[in-house]
Structure 1
Amino acid sequence: MEISLQFQVNLLFALFSTIIITISVAIILVTGKKKQQRMPPEPASTRLGIHRALVVSNWEVAKECFTTNDKVFLTRSKSLAVKHMGYDRNMLGFAPYGLYWRSARRLVTVELLSSRRLELLKHVPDIEIDSFIKDLYEQSVRNRGVAVVDDCWKKILCDGKHRKNKADSKGVGFCTRKLGERASRNEADDTIKATCLIIVLGGIETNVVTLTWAVSLLLNNLHVLKKAQDELDINETMRLYPAAPLSVPREAIEDCTVAGFHVQAGTRLLVNLWKLQRDPGIWSKPLEFLPERFLSDHANIDVRGQNFELIPFGCGRRICPGITFMLRFQHLALARLLHGLKWGTVSDNAVNMSESPGISVPKATPLEVTLTPKLPSMLYR
């Protein structure tokens, strides 16, 4: 009798435990399902190797990424290439968000690329552009009026006679000395080299690519070339051929929502500038070179990161700090070249506009042009 009673007690306890466990599991499943239903859907899966990636080709989504979620996408994605070739991620443009990045950006923005500093150093690009035009003139004389522009662009940006005069506080030597002062206090040698490297690389490649495409487009549109000699606007070149067709990847530091989709932390963000800036929903005749569009329908759009339809320099907190310098240099260089020389093509054929693959968008073939001096020859010597 006692055994039978004990058996019944054990059976009831087992049944009761089973019911409790079943109810608990059901509650967990229902609650989890409700949470999953409330979670926004994830975008279509795109991966860069093992990493999730979000590629944006719409200006409205780009605006949401760089305004509402700008803090989320403030850091850079990790890369072995940047680690080994960029002084352990000390290069400003590729450094992760943190104290170092904020300090380095403040240094570059205030001490090297501020309007006051550019005004102080404005004589440097003037002298270098004069030297560049002289080299072009001499090359065209040697080659009977033909010059390969691609071989000359980098000279204007690399030779820099003023960089040798480090003792001149008004010259380029000031920049390296200022970095040295900061280094002696807090910075390591690698930081100095990384900062100089990113400034040189960013200034050379982007300017060379943009100016080469600008001249190529003008030679294929001679009616625009005549207008450009009166009123210059380089925005259309940067719209059609941004120096980098894809933005430098950023990485989400936490979960967020973009365009109604759930984006997980660690997702890499790339903006397809080439597609965004040729969107027919924004630009009429998007594949045609029409600089006058920025004097009429799109007069209120510029490249300084406030209009997300045109962001060749990026936007948000990580916008290119050298934007003012590059715009000044590109306008000055192109204006001096167009006003000082008459440009033409080597043959009657249009300039080949084929693109070459790369981080930037270089021309697939060198730009060959004919140059005719507009001024007395003694002014080019």
Structure 2
Amino acid sequence: MILEALVLLVLYGFWKILARNSESKKLTRAPEPPWAWPLFGHLPSLLSSEPACKTLGAIADKYGPIYSLKFGIHRTLVVSSWETVRDCLSTNDRVLATRASIAAGKHMFYNNAAFSLAPYGQYWRDVRKMSTLQLLSNYRLDMLRHVRVSEVDTFIKGLHSFAAGSVDYPAKVNISKLLESLTFNISLRTIVGKRYRSSTYDKENSEPWRYKKAIKKALYLSGIFVISDAIPWLEWLDYQGHVSAMKKTAKELDAVIANWLEEHLKKRTDGELGSESESDFMDVMISNLAEGPDQISGYSRDVIIKATALFHKLNLWGQNMKFIPFSSGRRSCPAINLGLLVVHLTLARILQGFDLTTVAGLPVDMVEGPGIALPKENPLEAVIKPRLGLELY
């Protein structure tokens, strides 16, 4: 009797598989390149030194703007035209609102607690609401306007002094490095109320040096391929060394952020709080202390550290629906307004105050480097010449 039941169960299983395959054949499938490997799928073709976006673009040129790939055990639909992306982020926004768990989110961003990586659900809605209403609202950004203005002023005057005092005139400057320091100072003053001189970032083992190094490492690791994202049961192997690097980077970030949190709590205890316009994001997060020593406004200290980490990946770029750097729909970046304010102000001040040309009149090197933000492989260098005297800047 038992044997007959097992035979019937096996036959039923085969019937379900055949029925499913029959139904799937009736569905319209996106075209798929034929060169998929067993187990690995199309992964080998994406492991070249060329950026994945270029590889995917080349496949789109051959198979069309919508096609599918096999990434290990996962089947992935690739959309390669901005018109279709716009439809995905508007008409089908809710269907595509969730996010898959990846190694970077698991090991560096508190098991996908960062809202850019969190799966769509109540937790994501709560965190986004907190960020949008309490931290990145127009009112809060206006309160912190002096931070952006003063940092850009300092940046422009420093750029003028360097150009005017350079032995070679007009001066050649590393624009990428200068903008990097500006972005870090605006971010740090906005998030935790700190700023550092550019030279301090280069001082090895200093707090800003460790923070900057960890952030750049996190952005790099977030943009590279990890084999366990495609084949989860290979995570223990970690032959690439990426998972261990992510865990180390997470500890480095936690150490710096935890120190900032303790400094803010000490200021509050000592009665050194400033006005509302001087309150940074972390001040807002801990504006009301709960009775418990490890509770802040109903959140644990661990949650405050995680929430601070959410702002590490703010991308300060412009917006255009054909490019969509901030994404769109419900998963769009909540820091759009902050990014546009910083970019517009900085770009306007640079173009107003300086004549700029490329080195030797050569075209700008636009080769991409690795990382989630797709940085330039080689820093941007330019020859600058101030238009007016320093007293007018």
TM bucket (normalised to shorter chain) is: 0.5 to 0.7
> 1:157 and 1:32, CA in 2 relative to 1: closer, same or farther beyond 3 A?
closer
Larger Rg computed on CA atoms: 1
Distance 1:105 1:113 in 2: 10
Structure 1 residue 76: deviation in Å?
1.1
Which residue of the partner structure matches residue 29 of structure 2?
Answer: 41
2:313 paired with 1:178: no
Which residue of the partner structure matches residue 157 of structure 1?
Answer: 183
> Is the Cα–Cα contact under 8 Å of residues 74 and 97 in structure 1 kept in the other structure?
yes
> 1:40 and 1:116, CA in 2 relative to 1: closer, same or farther beyond 3 A?
same
| 1:173 aligned partner, one-letter code | S
2:77 paired with 1:50: no
Match of 1:193 among 305, 312, 320: 305
> Is the Cα–Cα contact under 8 Å of residues 87 and 191 in structure 1 kept in the other structure?
no
Structure 1 residue 351: deviation in Å?
2.5
Match of 2:347 among 319, 327, 334: 334
> Is the Cα–Cα contact under 8 Å of residues 149 and 366 in structure 1 kept in the other structure?
yes
Q: Secondary structure at the match of 2:181?
A: helix
Distance 2:19 2:378 in 1: 61
Q: Secondary structure at the match of 1:46?
A: strand
Distance 2:116 2:386 in 1: 40
| 1:123 aligned partner, one-letter code | H
**Aligned Cα RMSD in Å?**
3.1
Structure 1 residue 338: deviation in Å?
0.7
> 1:29 and 1:375, CA in 2 relative to 1: closer, same or farther beyond 3 A?
closer
Q: Secondary structure at the match of 2:361?
A: coil
Which residue of the partner structure matches residue 322 of structure 1?
Answer: 335
Pick which of 41-50 and 350-359 moved more.
41-50
Distance 1:29 1:196 in 2: 48
Q: Secondary structure at the match of 1:92?
A: coil
Distance 2:274 2:97 in 1: 37
Q: Deviations over 1:168-187 (max 9, x none)?
A: 33446331111124761332
Distance 1:147 1:84 in 2: 37
Distance 1:369 1:30 in 2: 64
> 1:310 and 1:350, CA in 2 relative to 1: closer, same or farther beyond 3 A?
closer
Structure 1 residue 339: deviation in Å?
0.3
Structure 1 residue 146: deviation in Å?
2.1
> Is the Cα–Cα contact under 8 Å of residues 157 and 390 in structure 2 kept in the other structure?
no
Q: Deviations over 1:296-316 (max 9, x none)?
A: xxxxxxx3xxx4x34221111
| 1:50 aligned partner, one-letter code | I
Distance 1:326 1:55 in 2: 28
> Is the Cα–Cα contact under 8 Å of residues 87 and 190 in structure 1 kept in the other structure?
no
Gaps of 5+ in 2: 1-11, 33-67, 196-263, 265-272, 289-294
Distance 1:157 1:34 in 2: 55
Which residue of the partner structure matches residue 379 of structure 2?
Answer: 366
Distance 2:339 2:110 in 1: 25
| 2:130 aligned partner, one-letter code | L
Structure 1 residue 109: deviation in Å?
0.6
TM-score, with normalisation over the residues of structure 2?
0.58
> Is the Cα–Cα contact under 8 Å of residues 168 and 174 in structure 1 kept in the other structure?
no
Counting only pairs closer than 5 Å after superposition, residues 115-134 of structure 1 correspond to structure 2 as 115-134=138-157
> Is the Cα–Cα contact under 8 Å of residues 136 and 334 in structure 2 kept in the other structure?
yes
Counting only pairs closer than 5 Å after superposition, residues 1-381 of structure 1 correspond to structure 2 as 35=23, 39-41=27-29, 44=32, 45-140=68-163, 141-142=165-166, 144=168, 145-160=171-186, 162=189, 163-164=193-194, 167-171=273-277, 173-181=279-287, 184-202=296-314, 206-207=315-316, 210=317, 303=320, 307=321, 309-380=322-393
Q: Secondary structure at the match of 2:330?
A: helix
Distance 1:123 1:113 in 2: 15
Structure 1 residue 342: deviation in Å?
1.7
Q: Deviations over 1:72-114 (max 9, x none)?
A: 2111110122111112222121112222211110011111111
Gaps of 5+ in 1: 1-23, 211-233, 236-302
Structure 1 residue 362: deviation in Å?
1.6
> Is the Cα–Cα contact under 8 Å of residues 146 and 369 in structure 1 kept in the other structure?
yes
Distance 2:359 2:21 in 1: 69
> Is the Cα–Cα contact under 8 Å of residues 121 and 170 in structure 1 kept in the other structure?
no
Question: Would you identify which runs of 4 or more consecutive aligned residues in structure 1 move more than 6 Å?
Answer: 27-34
Structure number with the bigger relative contact order (C-alpha 8 A, sep ≥ 6) is 1
> 1:186 and 1:146, CA in 2 relative to 1: closer, same or farther beyond 3 A?
same
Structure 1 residue 330: deviation in Å?
0.6
Q: Secondary structure at the match of 2:286?
A: helix
